[in-house]
Amino acid sequence: MGRPNDLFGPETLDQDSTSSPPPPSPCPPPARTDATPPAADDGLITVSGMENVALIFLSMSGIREHQADMVQRRLMAVAERSHGKLAVSLSEVSALNSSGINALVAVHAKCVELGGHLALFALSPEIRKVFKVTKLDKKMILAENVHEAVQSFTKPKKGFLRGAFTWAKQERDAA
């Protein structure tokens, strides 16, 4: 089957510190299609796993137009393999424009479609304020640290019991 984090794709496999890098290939890499996730993206995105949740660490100071497209593509690919369970660290991100917000919203929607959600953690006060002003803090999970983000996948969703009671009341009224 492969290594344990094959779940997150071949581009996320860690290089063993004891093994030497593979020799360079004499022929150029094949051309990518949109269905093929990029192989490394210059080390800007690191993916690992914890309790069946994909942990993504972004090593970039901002998510703007160019970065947003790349981030969205990569996170969508990881979301497919992790059944929509993504926890993304924004600890190094200090700038986020509307393109970055739209990319994260699209990834969140894909995660929900796949049965999970997107949890963001380690946000700077400025980035947290962006989510508060846009009211996305009400729609997305904003966690303080990685452990809170991972726990958000095991806790029942807000409103679950209310939804169950509403459903039971509708069933009772219909009978």
User: Phi first, then psi: what are they for 145, rounded to 5°?
Assistant: -145, 175
The string of pLDDT tens digits covering residues 92-149 is 999 999 999 999 999 999 999 999 999 999 999 999 999 999 999 999 999 999 999 9
End-to-end C-alpha distance for the chain, whole angstroms: 51
Determine contact, residues 63/93, Cβ cutoff 8 Å: yes
* Biggest alpha carbon–alpha carbon distance for the chain: 72
Question: Would you state the pLDDT for residue 156?
Answer: 59
Q: What is the dihedral of CA 151, 82, 54, 158, to 10 degrees?
A: -30
Q: Which structural domains are found in the chain, ordered by start?
A: 37-174 (3.30.750.24)
Position 142, amino acid? L
Report CA-CA distances (Å) from 47 to 8, 51, 155: 7, 13, 23
Winning range, highest mean pLDDT, from 18-22, 31-35, 71-75, 154-158? 71-75
The string of pLDDT tens digits covering residues 11-65 is 444 434 344 444 444 444 434 333 333 334 457 888 988 989 999 999 888 898 8
Q: Beginning with the edge strand found earlier in the chain, give each strand of the sheet holding 53-58 in spatial order.
A: 45-50, 53-58, 85-89, 117-121, 141-143
The model's pTM is 0.66
